[in-house]
Structure 1
Amino acid sequence: MLAGSDLRAKREAAGLSLSRMAQRTHFARSYLSMIETGKRPVADDVVAAYEQVLGVPLALNPGDPLRVAHEWLVNDSPVAVHTRSGRKVSESLASELEQRVIELRHLDDVVSCRDLLPAITKELGEAEQLVSTASFKEPVGRRLFVAVGELSQLAGWVASDAGEYARAQRFYMSGVGAAREARDRVLGSQLLSSLSYQIANIGDPAEAALLARTAVMGAESATPAVRALLLERVAWASARARETDATWRALDAVDDSFEQRGDGEPEWVYWLNRNEIDVMAGRCMIELGRPNDAEPLLANAIANYPPEHAREVALYLTWLAESHARAGDLDAARQAIQRARSYAETVSSARTDLRLEAVQRLV
């Protein structure tokens, strides 16, 4: 089994700094530092990310994410073990729960929503039961409520991807309550912003834009990357509401904020990178009638995206297809749709299915 020191040795042998590895793998530098120094266990998705960057195999038997998700349904979690023991909650349990949240979040990159949602809701239910019945000191309690809020956000996101929109909204709103208990306004803003994204896609875009802007206003202490993420949701909702000036202002603000990012970003924003920002800009351009401007942004982002993230690749290919279709290049649109379908076949996603149906009608 690989140790964190093994990863550090391989990275240093390749001449890569920890900051550079964090940029290339999209994990937080602080998280990778804890793994390399043995303060966190070596997760399979981290090993896979190092393998991709370094171009060499590091693990003989990398874990199957789907198997891991299923195992979590039948194995006892740290919270369940604690609940039976009746002991007072310690910092070690809070740390274990925080790590479980990180592992689940990264499983979402490669496991379908239908397979992952039961594991997340199981963990969330046990964590909610814990904070409502156990005794703990105030600092530990804050960490537990933050973990519940993050689990709620993840549950909402995955439920929305599965097309269970009402359930997703309940997850988001219960998470806001946990964030309030933890006095974490930034996490609360992330939850409301995530809900605004769902509303922009399936509800009233003007309402979504208002909610997204409110989330930004409520996150005064947000780090640059988090602020960029929240502003992306403002841009998307504004584009869906056909608020052209507001969309461009938000996209400009996304770029400005993202360029200021550094150490100290929360782990849950690990996935936001230049490719993701370009995809969102391209999507907004399509919504506002500029498909020719969107095409190069989308094509370049897709070319640089990890192929094992099949759901995202399929989704982004549907936007590339739409940019071609709206620019009048139907042959290129059909080719992109076919590529999207080949990726979509490997992972279940209601969002992807709806996008494929919508784009197919354009050609």
Structure 2
Amino acid sequence: MEQDAGLPPSTDDTRSPSRLRTAREAAGYSLARMAALTHFSKPYLGLVETGRRSVTAELIERYEQVLGVAIGTALDPVRITHEWLLGDTPASLQLRAGRQIGVSLVEALETRVVELRHLDDTVSSSHMLPVITKELGAANVLARDAAYSDAVGRRLFTAVGELAQLAGWVASDAGQYVKAKQFYLSGVSATETIGDRVLGAQLLSCLSYQLANIGRRDDAMLIARSAVSGATGATPVARALLLERYAWAAARLRDTAAARRALDAADDAYERRSDGIPEPEWVYWLNRAEIDVMAARCAIEVGAPARAEPLLTRALAGYASEHIREVALYQTWLAESYAETGDLDAARATLGQAQAAAERADSARLQRRVTAIANLIDRRAT
């Protein structure tokens, strides 16, 4: 994290050292306290705040998460969400002259996107991220430099948006939150080019999910709500997914009523699915068990853990064992529900299963959950 030694300070005002120092002091935090909260060393933060080391995007993000204030303006997700929600659909694709590409190339890219999406179920983020990043880079070059028809261009930009969503999801799982946000917002730009508001909403709701977990929860709520509102034409299962993430953002804010309404709306949307309504491939994984898992998570978050245990137990019983990361994540929530209801033996046993899987899954998100629930169990035991 502290690899910027020797670099000059940034001249970009959004990365001014004084803005970091002013925000910290306004919150009443000492430099030592800030170091503990951000997991950067105190000497390093001192060098950054005095302009002797460069201010990185990751450091701005960490300060914003800890202090709950906006410091940088580049890639502001709330601003971009509003622009996405209120902006007009472009009248036509802005195509550049270059090599003509046809349907066969785009079909191959679409197939590759689906393959990578499904590989993420069983392959670790550290292995997936370089592959997806390379694929996304190549697709972006095509979109920028090649020549193609409007129909091919629409499919190409859709693939770029879907790759950006996948790259963001995998980067977030790996704990690379700044990079994940950049991927998500670049994907939103791709969907704006072709006016695909549903895929744009999917990207924004993924960003909302990340912010609800590790960032500003009020921003997460706003972005999730905007994604639901702006996803005109969403199919039933796609809409259910967007509503689930809205419910999670509400639960993280402890807004029990909003979370309940969103979960009920997600149930209703999911029940409207039909063989006659083709769904986007990126919702392939959302089923009744997954909806129950989210309902259970929200119940724990708003202080009703007893409602979570039967939902999680039923979902885990039917889950494919080769999906190591997801099974282990759901076990951490089951362990949390046990801990919150006072069954510490069951909590320890369940967390032990998740911890064994975490050693093989190579997921920062999973490891963070295991650590958090282990600490919770320790607190409940004292």
Shift of 1:345: 2.1
Shift of 1:157: 0.2
User: Equivalent residue for 1:80?
Assistant: none
Please tell me whether residue 305 in structure 1 is matched to residue 319 in structure 2: yes
Inter-partner Cα distance in structure 2 for 1:243 and 1:205 = 11
> Alignment partner of 2:225: what SS?
helix
Cα contact 1:161–1:349 (8 A) shared by 2: yes
Matched residue type, 1:196:
S
Inter-partner Cα distance in structure 2 for 1:147 and 1:220 = 20
Report 1:345-356 matches (<5 A).
Answer: 345-356=359-370
Q: For 1:171, which of 150, 166, 183 is the aligned residue?
A: 183
User: Equivalent residue for 2:164?
Assistant: 152
Cα-to-partner distance string for 1:290-342 (whole Å, 9 max, x where unaligned): 11111100111011110000000010000000000000000000000011112
Cα contact 1:318–1:340 (8 A) shared by 2: yes
Q: For 2:223, which of 211, 222, 238 is the aligned residue?
A: 211
User: Equivalent residue for 1:338?
Assistant: 352
Inter-partner Cα distance in structure 2 for 1:167 and 1:345 = 24
Report 1:196-345 matches (<5 A).
Answer: 196-263=208-275, 264-345=278-359
Inter-partner Cα distance in structure 2 for 1:333 and 1:351 = 19
Cα-to-partner distance string for 1:159-193 (whole Å, 9 max, x where unaligned): 00000000000000000010011211100000001
> Alignment partner of 2:360: what SS?
coil
Inter-partner Cα distance in structure 1 for 2:274 and 2:129 = 32
Cα contact 2:99–2:145 (8 A) shared by 1: no
Runs of 4+ in 1 over 3 A off after TM superposition: none
> Alignment partner of 2:234: what SS?
coil
Q: CA RMSD in A?
A: 0.8
Cα-to-partner distance string for 1:237-294 (whole Å, 9 max, x where unaligned): 0000011110000010011100111230011100001111111000000001111111
Matched residue type, 2:220:
A
Cα contact 1:278–1:301 (8 A) shared by 2: yes
User: Equivalent residue for 1:16?
Assistant: none
User: Equivalent residue for 1:358?
Assistant: 372
Report 1:65-84 matches (<5 A).
Answer: none
Cα contact 2:143–2:156 (8 A) shared by 1: yes
Shift of 1:343: 1.8
Matched residue type, 1:351:
R
Matched residue type, 1:135:
A
> Alignment partner of 1:361: what SS?
helix
Report 1:45-194 matches (<5 A).
Answer: 87-194=99-206
Cα contact 1:311–1:349 (8 A) shared by 2: yes
> Alignment partner of 1:335: what SS?
helix
Of the two, which has the highest radius of gyration? 2
Inter-partner Cα distance in structure 2 for 1:231 and 1:183 = 21
Inter-partner Cα distance in structure 1 for 2:359 and 2:312 = 21
Cα contact 1:143–1:182 (8 A) shared by 2: no
Aligned length: 278
Cα contact 1:285–1:294 (8 A) shared by 2: yes
Give TM-score, length-normalised by structure 1.
Answer: 0.76
Cα-to-partner distance string for 1:27-50 (whole Å, 9 max, x where unaligned): xxxxxxxxxxxxxxxxxxxxxxxx
Matched residue type, 1:301:
A
> Alignment partner of 1:306: what SS?
coil
Cα contact 1:317–1:340 (8 A) shared by 2: yes
Inter-partner Cα distance in structure 2 for 1:206 and 1:173 = 18
Cα contact 2:157–2:190 (8 A) shared by 1: yes
Inter-partner Cα distance in structure 2 for 1:189 and 1:309 = 26
Gaps of 5+ in 1: 1-85
Shift of 1:87: 4.4
Inter-partner Cα distance in structure 1 for 2:148 and 2:297 = 46
Shift of 1:215: 0.2
Percent of pairs identical after alignment?
62
Give TM-score, length-normalised by structure 2.
Answer: 0.72
Inter-partner Cα distance in structure 1 for 2:285 and 2:205 = 16
Inter-partner Cα distance in structure 2 for 1:307 and 1:184 = 35
Matched residue type, 2:230:
G
Shift of 1:346: 2.0
> Alignment partner of 2:376: what SS?
coil
Cα-to-partner distance string for 1:4-51 (whole Å, 9 max, x where unaligned): xxxxxxxxxxxxxxxxxxxxxxxxxxxxxxxxxxxxxxxxxxxxxxxx
> Alignment partner of 1:345: what SS?
helix
